[in-house]
Chains A and B, each alone.
Chain A
Amino acid sequence: MADIVHHSVPQETDDLPARVGKAKLWSAYLLRDKKALIGLIILCSLTLVALFAPWVTPYDPNAMDFEFLQPPSFTHPLGTDDLGRDLLSRLMYGTQISLFVGISTVTIALAAGITLGLMAGYFGGFIDTIIMRYIDLQWAFPNFIIAVYLVAVFGTGLSNVIVAVSLAFVDDFARLVRSMVLSIKQEQYVDAARTLGASHWRIMWRHILPNATAPIIVQATVSVSYAILAEAGLSFLGLGVQADTPTWGLILSDARSFFSRAWWLGVFPGLFIMITVLSINFLGDALRDMLDVREVKDAR
């Protein structure tokens, strides 16, 4: 499947002024791209909502009221659910879980995938065979299916979902990093470092990895959106967080019997998911153009 090709000169990793200049360049680029700007603004707002949910939500997300299944109105902007709970407040709290799961799973998958990919690509031979046998097995299946399989094994609940989704995404990063390592390993500056007596560890983390960052950043960004979709899907199927936790997937799942009477329960939670995923995809697209990364595997 599509591997990533990155064409740019090796970065100077120890040059601080160059780095500051690059950060400025990045932000200037992202701010010029209209889609990326919209994506950034929405993501920042969602992060603020997640962080300050207790202060910015109009109601307690679990407070029940006798106003069951009220359509959107001034008092309840997105309506209420079958227990009279305010939908907007519940969706705002749902932001916490979605963003938390999206970011934590990709962080774990990234750490594990980078380590496995570096080791497989750098050492080659037996280590490579052992690691890649497993990675290839997982690669044969879509991430969401792997996540469902793993939840089948570990059981449901938030921490299990995080472990399952993280593991499901490891193969993407491991393969990506390995293929980058294989090409970077041939570069002269790696030979130079080796001649100067740098340790394997130092060569891997200081000389090879920094030059593989661009595609990893793009893949990680896109993966956050897939992880959020995966969490929503698992929650919707009843395999996610505990019942009554306000998450987007679970709110949709709970509303299933009321769609004919209360359209807002079916429409708004999905809208939150879509807008979040769309913003991340906008950002990922802009990053891909900016960092000149040609193709990223579709991880869904």
Chain B
Amino acid sequence: MTQYLIRRIIGAILVMWAVATLVFFMLRLVPGDPIGAMLFDTGDAAAITALRAKFGLDLPIWAQYLKWLWLVLQGDLGNSIYGSRLSVSRIVLEALPRTLSLATLSFFVALIIAVPAGIISAVRKHSKLDHAVTLVAFLGLSMPDFWVGILLIIVFAANLQWLPAIGYAPLSQGFWPWFSHLILPAIAVGTAFAAIIARMIRSAMLEVLKTDYMSVARSKGLKNWRIIMVHALPNALVPVVTVMGIAIALLMAGAVVVENVFAIKGLGRVLIEGILNRDYPVVQGAILAVSAVFVFANLFVDVLYTFIDPRIRYD
């Protein structure tokens, strides 16, 4: 187990190094000059040279790379070259909890919708309710997450005015402000994942309901809900655990877009604004942060498996 852990951590670090290197070189090999963009392409040659020297852009590219990598290892991602000139590490650290809050809440929202839906459609197989759940799941997979967000804004923020349309409040300001800002984006991000989970739980439940121990439970005269909730559901949830990796992928990709709908300044919004402003250091920092969340979340999930299902062993 220790060996497996060490191997995985080294692997994760290698992936991060590969991402960092690829991003660094690709951003520099492609035409488009951030200094030009900064000066609004006025073409003042002296100002351009001075700025290039200030940001180290006059060094040869390998020297820039080594210098950059050394600073990144120390947690210094450079400064934004646009507007505020804030340190990128600070921007990323401020954005990170917002994205993680959103992704986590989306995960629970998806489960709260999907688990009952999956159970009902398995227990009432081929009923109207089952068909309705299947259809809704199909729709959920076909709706772009940002559009779900827009619909929610139109209904709950613009018309009913129950919830704020945009922005974010940290948990330190209290649960309700945090929750009320995040619930709509969380539904938007979680919809597709809920659809996948509902379909998985349905088919897993149908398998479990066919097993011998279900017949035993029934012949013992146990109540129906008890059979479903206590005997069937825990076993039907095991395959769900195995798609946690996909969950992280879906939720993070969703958060990147949906943050932009709800003007939540998380990693996704930082990344997109950086791209639009041609702000290299911010783009690099955001890509590294998003990638790190990904790689280490997946590592965490893989290790978690071994605790949830002792039958899984990595040797």
What's the least CB distance linking A143 to chain B, in Å? 8
List A contacts of B30 (CB < 8 A).
153-155
Closest chain B CB from A268 CB (angstroms): 10
Indicate if B34 sits at the interface (CB-CB under 8 A).
Answer: no
Cα separation A229 to B154 with both chains bound (whole Å): 21
Q: State the B residues within 8 Å of A (CB).
A: 15, 18-19, 23, 26-27, 30, 32, 138-139, 141-144, 146-147, 150-151, 153-154, 158-159, 192, 196, 245-246, 249-250, 252-253, 256-257, 260, 271-272, 274-276, 283, 287, 290-291, 294-295, 298
Shortest beta-carbon distance from A247 to chain B in Å: 13
Considering only CB atoms, which chain B residue lies closest to A280 in the complex? B142
Known: A153-B26, A153-B27. A141 touches B294 (CB 8 A): yes
If A140-B295, A259-B153 touch, does A238 touch B272 (CB 8 Å cutoff)? yes
- 3 shortest interchain CB distances as A-B pairs: A270-B147, A260-B158, A278-B142
Residues from chain B with Cβ under 8 Å of A263 in the complex: 154, 158-159
A237 to B261, CA, bound (A): 9
Q: Given A145-B290, A237-B272, check contact A270 B283 (CB 8 Å).
A: no
| Chain A residues, Cβ within 8 Å of B143 | 270, 273-274, 277
| Partner among A149, A155, A229, A282 whose Cβ is within 8 Å of the Cβ of B144 | A229
Contact flag A149-B287 (CB < 8 Å), given A137-B18, A142-B250: yes
Nearest CB in chain B to that of A234: its residue: B257
Query: A1 on the interface (CB 8 Å rule)?
Result: yes
Mark out the residues of chain A between 114 and 147 whose CB falls within 8 Å of any chain B CB in the assembled complex. 137, 140-142, 144-145
- A-B contacts counted at CB < 8 A amount to 117
How distant is the Cα of A237 from the Cα of B272 in the complex, in angstroms?
7
Bound complex: CA A236 to CA B271 (Å): 14
Shortest C-beta distance, A234 to chain B (Å), equals 9
For residue B287, which residues in chain A have a CB less than 8 angstroms away from its CB?
149, 152
Contact of A137 among B15, B147, B245 (CB under 8 A): B15
Q: Which residue of A lies closest to B30 (CB)?
A: A153
| Contact yes or no, A274 B147, CB < 8 A | yes
| Residue of B151, B260, B272, B294 touching A270 (CB-CB under 8 A) | B151
A300 to B250, CA, bound (A): 7
Known A263-B154, A300-B253: A281·B141 in contact at CB below 8 Å: yes
Pair A237/B150 contact, Cβ less than 8 Å = no
A281 in complex: contacting residue of B138, B146, B295, CB < 8 Å = B138
> Which residues on A sit within 8 Å (CB–CB) of B32?
155
* A255: nearest chain-B partner, CB-CB: B150
Say yes or no: B146 contacts A236, CB within 8 Å.
yes
The count of chain A contact residues (Cβ–Cβ below 8 Å) is 42
Would B150 and A270 count as touching, CB distance under 8 A? yes
Q: A142-B253, A145-B256, A236-B257 are in contact. Are A152 and B275 (CB under 8 A)?
A: yes
A252–B159 CA distance with the chains assembled, in angstroms:
18
Q: What distance in Å separates the Cβ of B268 from its nearest Cβ neighbour in chain A?
A: 9
5 A-B contact pairs sorted by A residue (CB < 8 Å): A142-B250, A152-B283, A252-B147, A270-B144, A298-B250
Given known pairs A145-B252, A273-B147, A300-B253, the reply for A151 and B154 (CB within 8 Å) is no
Partner of A278, one of B139, B271, B294: B139
A267 and B154 contact, CB distance less than 8 A: yes
Kindly state whether residue A180 has any CB partner on chain B within 8 Å: no
Q: Which residues of B contact A249 (CB under 8 A)?
A: 144
Complex CA gap A142/B255 in Å reads 12
Cβ–Cβ contact B257 & A237, under 8 A: yes
Contact residue among A144, A229, A266, A298 (Cβ-Cβ distance under 8 Å from B150): A266
A273 touches B144 (CB 8 A): yes
**Among B150, B275, B298, which residue has its beta carbon within 8 angstroms of that of A239?**
B275
- Chain B residues with Cβ under 8 A from A239's Cβ? 272, 275-276
Within 8 Å of chain B (Cβ to Cβ): is A148? yes
B15, B144, B146, B154: which has the most chain A beta carbons within 10 Å?
Answer: B144
- Closest A residue to B153 using CB positions: A259
Contact of B154 among A142, A145, A266, A282 (CB under 8 A): A266
Closest to B280 in A: A152
Say how far A298's CB is from chain B's closest CB, in angstroms.
Answer: 6
With a CB–CB cut-off of 8 A, which chain A residues contact B274?
152
Interface membership of A225, Cβ < 8 A: yes
Q: Any chain B CB within 8 A of the CB of A94?
A: no
User: When each residue 255-292 of chain A gets 1 if its CB lies under 8 Å from chain B and 0 otherwise, what string results?
Assistant: 01001100100110110011101100110000000000
Measured CB to CB, the closest approach of chain B to A135, in angstroms, equals 12
Q: Is A165 an interface residue (CB 8 A)?
A: no
A148→B253 CA distance, assembly (Å): 10
The answer to whether B144 and A152 have CB atoms under 8 Å apart is no
Contact of B253 among A145, A256, A259, A277 (CB under 8 A): A145
